[in-house]
Structure formats: structure tokens, C-alpha cells
A and B are shown apart, each in its own frame.
Chain A
Amino acid sequence: MEIITLTDENIADFSAYVDEDMQDEMSRIFYRGIGAIDDSDTPVGVLIYELKDCESEEDTKSRIRVFKCENEDVKRLLMKEYAESIEEEEVARSFYETEDEHMSRDLRENGFSLEVSEALDVVITIEDIKGISKLIRVKKFPPHIMSLSEASVTQYRAFVKNCLFKGRRGLLDDLAYLPMNWFEKDISSCAVTDDKIDGVLLVKKAPSGMLFALLFTAFGPDYKTNLGLLMAYTAQNIIEKYPEDTRVVIRRHNAMVKNLTDKFFAQRKGSDVFSGNRSEA
């Protein structure tokens, strides 16, 4: 059995263990993957994790996204390799959140804690989004609200810098490294004042067709108004351009997002998930 490092090129070989959305994520700078292959080069296990806070002086954390293996030997090997990798990265704590009971059990056996709670992710439908459009009725959007495709790369880059310096990155630890066209430009919206972007709602379309709302922020004098307009603009575009069965995922990673989803999508709750963590010190 052999352990290999997963990259963009070989991740497709592990499609039995890793869905297309996660395969797409492997191209991101803070994602790491370890794969196990048997003597006949057949994949027998995979562990994918995402590094968090690795570019600051804060403790680096690791979120295990995928942990699947054929047998106990593979499991032991992958965990050993994982421990060595995160030691090099100076990770202080590992954690996970998954619906997969097997994964949670495997991690529990390796020293992770376990609890069952509501997922931070909430999945909303086109029907729910139509509800927003009714709540925030906008007959005509002001000229400073536009889709991301109308903004230039220079404006986007300047905005990213501003965002990062204000400490706002949403779910995107690697915001500094993501190009503008990584997002779905036709439905992502931005507010432009004095030729500078000062508000965005960035949405990513995964290969499976799911939409992920990743960054929703605004600053400047009219930030409150702009937040509402950006949400209404993106909602309208999603309704116009996507089929009825489209799903949008919103991760309620802080109190502000939670209040927003409670207000607009009160009927939607996260599914039950297994979560836990382990100190790596």
C-alpha cells in the first residue's frame, strides 16, 4: 500500500470516495489531500483537509472534509500520514463536521470528540429565494448595483484588498488567491461607488450545480442599503437564470448570517451532523 499526495491531476482517480464538488475544491490553495492506493494502484482511501488561519500568527487549524477508507490498515496509515503532515504545518487543532456517520466513528476512534448538532449549512430552494424578492421589492435597481461581470479585475482586486484589511473574508480563507472568474459572475453582485467596489455578494457554482453563497459584505456610507439591494439583485438573477430545482447553500458561520437566515429563511434548518475536534499540540 502506498500513500500519495492528492493534486488536481490525480483527484479524479479517487472519484469513488470524493464527489465532484470536493474534487473542484482541491484546486484551492489551502486544501490538502492524502490518498492511499494498493499494490495495483487502486484507490483504497482518502483524507482531505482544509487549513485555516495558516497565514496569521494565530493557531493554525485543520478541518477534515473527507475521510474514507476500505479497512483498518488504510485508516491507520492515513491518520499517521495526516498527523505527520499537520505537524509540518504547525496545526494546533483539528476539527470536522460531517453527515457521514462512518467518518465520525473513524475519527472518534482516533481521538476526536463527537457530538451531534445542527449543521451550520442551510440549503434553500428557488421557492425560498422568490420569497426574498417579495420581501425586498425593488422595481428598478440603482445604477451602482451591478453584476460582478460588469466590474473590472482591477476593481475586484482593490476590493479584495479592502475586504482583507477590514478582516472580512466570509468563508474564504483564500480570498486573496481567488481570481474573479472563480465566482459565478452573472449572479454575483457588487455595489460600486466612486469607481470602487464597496459591497459584494459572491456566489460560487459547484460542478454539481449547487450554488454556494461565500461572501456577503458591504462597507462605506450606504452599506446597509447596499446589503439589501445586493441580496435582492442576486436573488432576482438566480430566479431568472437557474432551474427550479437549484439549491443554494448558506453557511451560518457567524451570528450575523444566522440572524439573516432566521429572518428570511426561518423555515429552513440545518440537518443533523456529527462534529468534533482534537488538539494537536
Chain B
Amino acid sequence: MMSSIMSDVGYVTIYANGVAIMLLLGILVLSSKLRLNDENEKRIFSSLLVIALGMAVFYIIISLRDEGIIPCSHMGAMLIESAEEFLLIALMVQWVIYMDYRMYHSPGHLKRNLNRIIVPVALICLCFIINIFTGFMFYFDENLVYTETALYYVVDIIRLLFFIIPIVMLARRKKVDENIRFFTIRPFFVSILFYVGIYYITPYSVAALGISIGFALIYVDVVNAYRYQDTQTGFFNRNYLLYLKDLIRDDEYELNSAMLFTVPGDDIENTSKLIHAQLPDDCEPIRYAGDKILTLAHVKDRSPLHMVSEDVEMSLTEAGIPVAVAYDLRKKKETGSDFLERFLKKADGDNYVNR
């Protein structure tokens, strides 16, 4: 025995959830300081962390109740346990929201997706509310010993599916969507599954620990992608260009065209917003220099480049901001790397003229 105050199981639970709380708090504070391009994503992720934090706290409270350190009535025990279940449901829904938003960055699609899951979620919530008075999913006997029924496991399977299905969708989408190539699955998935598995097969409530590790690794992913971001404009930075150069050299990125926008360096934040509004979704603008924004693309025709060029010029001219736009296509026998070198050489020169 580690101590005479609590059983060993209680100690394990408190230590494990204590580590989880520390990890989650740290990630929460760090993420609050990050200036992400998409503040919605940050808010959704922070909510995920807060819910997981709440879960870890509740596991500690439940452990203290089980050890008899916190006195509790029968109804109190049911309410505490039910609150923990609702937190788990909230975590599940927030997880679906986060994964959906991370994959598609589309509030419209997210709304449609939520409409699909709202019925099963509402049913599960209703079951737990009814359970407080009937105990048909879990209950406490006269000695406040907790017991689950078969129906509880059915709900658990549904919750597990809510966790796994977005990951499967992400794995499939990564093959086609370049925008989420930075989102690595294995690290966070394995740790969450391991500790949730331990939670189910042992008396130790360590699920929150696995979840906190998983979320910490997701955050590491976010930071790694963030390191490619130019904080002033929200565009990519030169590190990203180096990364793309390697992909182009290895034929993993088909470079066919490039555009360069030269704008005044002061008030670049507002200028970049105007430029961003005119760029198509597939464009990955890179802040190449203080006053130069570079865009590489797969498109092989002049007309879309011309359209973008016209729209950017019009938009900036209306705002009274001077801009020089230039674009070029890769020649037929030119490799992607050679084309990029040629284009950047011209971009670095002072005599780059409008096409």
C-alpha cells in the first residue's frame, strides 16, 4: 500500500488525472498565446481541452468519493456520475466538431454534419437523464458501489464510434486534400486508444490521461503547421517555400505556374486580407519578402492567373494601394525546380514587370 489514507487504485487515479490536468492546463495556456490564422479552430480546440480538463477533475472527485474521503448521498453519487457522463458526451460532440472543422474549415458543412448527429446525441442524453431516477444504465447499491448494465456498454460503443469515425474520415481525406497533410494521426490516436482500453479493462480511471496526451500531440501538430505561418499576414512563410521546393524536386508537387504580388510593406496586414479575399482556395500564398507575396499553383492556363491578377489589382486599386502583379507558366520541357528557380530569380530582381 502506498498510503493508509487511500487505496492504491485511488492513488493511481489521482496521480494519473493530476498529470492529465497539468498537461491540459499547460496546452491550454500555450494555445491561448498562439496567433492562428483561423481563430475558430483555436476556440474549438480550447473547448475540447476545457471539457477534457473537466473530465479529469471529475474523475478525481469520483475517486475521492469512492475512497470515502468526500461524503456522498445516493442521489449525490448518481448526479456526480451523470455529470461525468454528460461531460463525456460533450467531449464526443466537440471532438466531432473539431475534426470536421480541422478537415474542411467550413462552418456551413459543420452545421449540416451536426444536424446528422444531433438525434443520436439527444437520445443518449435523454437516457442518462432518465437514468438518474431509474438506474437502468448504471446505478449505486446501498453501499454506494457502482454497477453498469448491458445498455451502458451499447452507449459506450456508440461513443467509441463517434471517436473513431472522424479519424477514419481524416485518414481517407489526407490522401486527396493537401491542406491537411500536416495532420498526423498515429501519435494521438494510439495513446488515446491505449489508455481508454486500460480504463475499460482495469479499475483505474486513466482515460483522461490518454486523452490529454492525445490532445497534447494534436497541439504539437498545430504548432508544427504554425511554424510555417507568417504571423503578420497569415500567409505561409519562407520555411514553407523551402518545404515546397523539396516536394517539387521530388516530383511530389506539380508546379505549373506562379504569381507574384509586390505591395508596399507598411500596413501589410490589411493588404494581405484584400489579396487573400481574391485568391482561389487552392492557392497557397507565401510571404516571400517584406513586400512580396508569392503563390505557386498547379494550374496550366493563363486565363485563371489573369483573372486573379485582374481581381487583385482592382481590389487594391480601389483601396488606394499600389500593386504590381506578375505571373508565369512553366514551359513544356522545363522541370518544376527549374521553373521555380527562374521565377524567383526574376522576382528577386528589381526589373520584374507586369505581364
Q: Does a CB–CB distance below 8 Å link A and B in the complex?
A: yes
Interface residues of A, Cβ cutoff 8 Å to B:
55-58, 142, 144, 157-158, 160-162, 164-167, 174-177, 193-194, 220-222
- Min CB gap B251→A, angstroms: 18
B300: chain A residues within 8 A (beta carbon): 56-58, 167
Point out the residue from A161, A193, A194 that lies within 8 Å of B304, measured CB to CB.
Answer: A161
* Contact B311 A157, beta carbon cutoff 8 Å: yes
Which residues of the other chain, A, contact B108 by a CB distance below 8 angstroms? 144, 193-194
- Name which residue of chain B comes closest to A225, CB basis: B112
Report 17 cross-chain contacts, Cβ distance below 8 Å, ordered by A residue. A56-B300, A57-B329, A58-B300, A161-B304, A162-B280, A162-B281, A164-B301, A165-B282, A165-B283, A165-B297, A176-B303, A176-B306, A177-B303, A194-B107, A220-B104, A221-B103, A222-B109
Question: What is the distance, in angstroms, from B254's C-beta to the closest C-beta of chain A?
Answer: 10
Chain B residues contacting A220 (CB-CB under 8 Å) are 104, 106, 109
Cα A41 to Cα B304 with chains together (Å): 41
Given A56, A157, A162, A221, which contacts B301 in the complex, CB threshold below 8 Å?
A: A56
A57 contacts B307, CB within 8 Å?
A: no
Residue in A158, A165, A167, A222 whose Cβ sees the most chain B Cβ within 10 Å: A165
Contacts of A158 in B (CB 8 A): 280
CB distance from B73 to the nearest CB of A (A): 48
Q: A165 contacts B304, CB within 8 Å?
A: yes
Which of A157, A160, A193 has a CB less than 8 Å from the CB of B106? A193
B240 to chain A, nearest CB (A): 18
Considering the chains assembled together, what is the distance between the CA atoms of A205 and B343 in angstroms?
Answer: 43
B249 within 8 A of A: no
Contacting pair B307 A160 (CB below 8 A): yes
How far, in angstroms, from A173 to B108 measured CA to CA in the complex? 31
CB-CB < 8 A to B302: which residues of A?
Answer: 55-56
A166 vs B256: C-alpha distance when bound (angstroms): 12
Docked CA distance A99–B301 (Å): 31
Q: How far is the CA of A165 from the CA of B302 in the complex (A)?
A: 10
Q: How large is the interface on B (under 10, 10 to 19, 20 to 34, 35 or more residues)?
A: 20 to 34
Contacts of B50 on A, CB cut-off 8 Å?
A: none
CB nearest to A175 among chain B residues: B303
Chain A nearest CB from B264 CB (Å) reads: 25
Instruction: Give the distance to chain B from A256, nearest Cβ to Cβ, in Å.
Output: 15
Contact B303 A164 (CB under 8 A): yes
Which B residues are CB-close (under 8 A) to A221?
100, 103-104, 106, 109
Bound Cα distance A157, B332 (Å): 29
Q: Is B287 an interface residue (CB 8 A)?
A: no
Q: Which residues of B contact A160 (CB under 8 A)?
A: 307
- Asked whether, in the complex, the Cβ of B304 is within 8 Å of the Cβ of A164, the reply is yes
Q: Is B331 an interface residue (CB 8 A)?
A: yes
Given contacts A57-B332, A222-B109, contact A164 B298 (CB under 8 A): no
Chain B CB count within 10 A is highest, among A57, A166, A193, for: A57
With A57-B331, A161-B280, A165-B282: A222-B299 Cβ-Cβ less than 8 Å: no
Say yes or no: A167 contacts B107, CB within 8 Å: no
Could you tell me the distance in whole angstroms from the C-beta of A142 to the nearest C-beta in chain B?
8
- Residues in A with CB closer than 8 Å to B332 are 57-58
B308 on the interface (CB 8 Å rule)?
Answer: yes
A176 to B100, CA, bound (A): 32
The residue from A57, A157, A166, A222 contacting B282, defined by CB atoms under 8 A apart? A166
Q: Mark interface residues in B282-324 (1 if CB within 8 Å of A CB, else 0).
A: 1100000000000001111111101110010000000000000
Residues from chain B with Cβ under 8 Å of A157 in the complex: 307, 311
* CB-based nearest A residue for B281: A162
Minimum CB distance partner of B279 in chain A: A161
A77 and B332 CA atoms in complex are apart in Å by 34
The residue of chain A having its C-beta at the shortest distance from the C-beta of B333 within the complex is A57
Residues of A within 8 A of B280 (CB): 158, 161-162, 164-165
11 new A-B contacts, CB < 8 A, other than A164-B299, A193-B106, A221-B100, are: A56-B301, A56-B302, A56-B329, A57-B256, A57-B331, A58-B300, A161-B304, A162-B281, A175-B303, A194-B106, A194-B109
